[in-house]
Amino acid sequence: VKALGWNGACFDIENMPNTALPAYEAMLVRAHEKFAGAGLRLTVTVPAGEPAWNLARFAAAVDDVIFMNYDDHWQGGTPGPIAAQNWFNEQLAIARRDVPADKLIVAIGSYGYDWHDGIADAMTIAEAWQEARESEAMPMFDTVSGNSGFAYEDTDETGTHKHTVWMMDAVTNWNQLVQLQGIKGVALWRLGSEDPHFWDVLAASRSGKRPALEQIPASNGTDIEGRGEILRIEAEPRGGVREIVWGANGTIADETYKVLPSPYVVRRTGGADPKKIALTFDDGPDPLYTPKILSILESKKAPAAFFVIGENVIEHPGIVRRIVADGFELGNHSFSHPNLAQESDFGTRLELNATRRLIESYTGRSLRLFRAPYFGDAEPSTADELRPAEIAQERGYTIVGLHVDPGDWKTPGADAIARNTIAQIEAGSETHSANIVLLHDGGGNREQTVAALPQIIDGLRAKGYQLVSVAELAGLSHDAVMPPISGADRAAVDADVGIFLTIGAIGYAIRWLFFFAIALGIARAVFMTVLALLDRKADKSRYANAPQPPVSVIIPAYNEEAVIVSSIQTVLASDYPALEIIVADDGSKDATSARVAEHFGSDPRVKLL
């Protein structure tokens, strides 16, 4: 604890047999003595509804007690309210009786349980709402227990399954929090699973105000459905609505859900056949590695998709034309490879549009495949990952994720790249498809990728895998993912050709201007060095017969007209044989420089700057 810089520790050891509790309490007594001696605090969690846990003795053994006032019905038991209000109040009264108020921290729950098939799955409140939405079973508030719940049945190949879900949302939390006055603190189980309004009810319980719970924020995260690494956003996040009925004593008497909140809904496809594999290459085109990769793919008759960066396309349009002429696919990987999660919507659109128009101008075909830079998988979970994909989808793109990343950019060696690729593909499953492989043809030294590619192709084919295009995985044609430019767009594309050629020429010109500027800087440095050496040689001849080394006295002067002459005369009064005086006039507004020139203009020992 001390090594990690903590100011204490919490012992949370649960599900012990009752016979172990005396020994546990004795251990805490010994631990507390050591912790206190080291200036550290010691806390223990104690479950509610367990009489064998002697609250008074545990409280005496430690600094604080976290009283876990939930799980009246738990994962190992029968379905029911997780913490009914009456049960919660009864347990709280016991804790208040046995634990000093300045040691008592009451933990309340904000999560759910789904009982089915003899087991119970713990779930976040957002997951409970999502399950209710998908099963079309609106949660109902149980006025007796103060908890909410719902039930439904689903059927699969194994039969019909009955689900009973109970949860503690912000309404339950409010009714519990208003009972917790006069204790040391409140704890939450568990962070990240709570109703987003939990923090509002916590603040309101301390301020004495009623919380506004009617409008529920949109759910975080993503509801990902289907199998594969081709993604489509089917729904944006939306908020929910509930009606609240307040009771006479400041508690909430009833709650009615009208609309449940929802997160992004993403549909995955392309994973129906685990034996179909698509090779993709990011960050090109590169003048050295992309042609080598193309030659290998051509000789092996293996399809592939190249997700190109616009800046590289400007410099190497011939390689892009070769990719298209050879029948490979092109995808949009942005223009300058930024982290689109940190870009504005306008910036993302600009990145997409610039690269698309560039490809259209050079190849006569457009782009319909998109992969965002730094987009590492096919499991987008946050808004900053999904918003760029949403913008791309609005502009007609198909989002291409991935699950197979052998890490060729880490340059672990060609054999390791090939071995990791095949191993990850073979590890694919029903819930984790492995149909799309990420490799790189640009962005660094890709010699290892070039060397590994034949091993990957031959190794996969030897194991019965078929290499296919991304378009085939997505159920699309080649022209659908790279549509030819129509005659109506031709004039605009022709104009773009001139614009991009101009941009490219400016880029080359700026590059050579930098080279020229660097050359000028080097020439200047050499010239100044030569002058310095010549001046050093002159100084040596000037003081060749001096018995001591030359000395320079620098006099900085600013508006020193009244004293500058006497100051210089004082230095010149020295009998040192090799003496030089430099007067540095730092922009004087008076006649400092004029006085120096007037009195010492003919004295070789005095220099005025």
Q: Which residues does the annotation mark as catalytic? A: 282, 440
Count of H-run helices and E-run strands, the chain: 18, 26
Neighbour tally for 91: CB within 10 Å: 21
How far out from the chain centre does Cα 452 lie? Answer: 30
- The H or E element containing residue 429 is none
* E strand residue ranges, 5-59: 8-11, 41-47
Q: Within 10 A of 170 (CB to CB), how many other CB atoms are there?
A: 26
d(CA 333, CA 311): 10
Cis peptide before 285 (omega within 30 of 0): yes
For residue 553, the one-letter residue type is V
State which H helix or E strand residue 253 sits in: strand 252-259
Taking CA atoms, 571 is separated from 528, 544, 555, 562, in Å, by 30, 22, 10, 16
Contacts 24+ apart (CB under 8 A), 292-300: 292/450, 293/441, 293/446, 293/449, 293/450, 293/453, 294/319, 294/322, 294/323, 294/326, 294/328, 296/450, 296/453, 296/454, 296/457, 297/326, 297/328, 297/453, 298/326, 300/454, 300/457, 300/458
Q: Residues 54, 56, 58, 63: what is their CA dihedral angle, to the nearest 10 degrees?
A: 160
Name all contacts of 154-162 with Cβ < 8 Å and 24+ positions apart: 161/116, 161/117, 162/116
Question: What is the Cα–Cα distance from 471 to 511, expressed in whole angstroms?
Answer: 38
By DSSP bridging, strand 305-308 and strand 41-47 are unpaired
| Contact of 202 with 186, CB cutoff 8 Å | yes
Please give the backbone phi and psi of residue 514, each rounded to the nearest 5 degrees, phi first: -65, -45
**Cα angle for residues 236, 238, 242 (degrees, 5° grid):** 160
**How many whole angstroms separate alpha carbon 40 and alpha carbon 578?**
71
